[in-house]
Amino acid sequence: GDSVTQMEGPVTLSEEAFLTINCTYTATGYPSLFWYVQYPGEGLQLLLKATKADDKGSNKGFEATYRKETTSFHLEKGSVQVSDSAVYFCALSDQAKAAGNKLTFGGGTRVLVKP
């Protein structure tokens, strides 16, 4: 079945540091890929998405490129802020499946940015 693997946290960084969170996936079809962010006590917010190979999703300084050859969708940000402290989830939705777009999530990576 479909699966998503992302690096375990916590990841602790200083403000303005470079952030990378690795994500790889396994899917039988042609998935769409997503990064969601969860702030403490809140639900998930869509951060960015990519729907086909070589697409780059970007939002709020975050970027991720859909790499079909390496089945990866790594999240990057060049200069993090304290407000980026959150849990980040990589997810996929396999459009080839018959019923709907249920999301398969990775285990989440907690990021803590210190001033």
Query: 74 with 22: CB under 8 angstroms?
Result: yes
Q: What angle do CA 107, 10, 32 make, to 5 degrees?
A: 35
Q: Which of 13, 25, 86, 93 binds another protein (CB under 8 A)?
A: 93
Q: Which of 13, 105, 114, 115 binds another protein (CB under 8 A)?
A: 105
Residue 69 or 99: the one with the smaller Cβ distance to another protein is 99
Q: What is the DSSP pairing of strand 23-26 with strand 3-6?
A: antiparallel
In the shown chain, the binding pattern of residues 23 to 52 toward another protein, with x for contact by CB under 8 A and - for none, equals ---------x---x-----xxxxx--x-x-
Stretch that binds another protein, among 18-26, 68-76, 77-85, 102-110 (CB under 8 A): 102-110
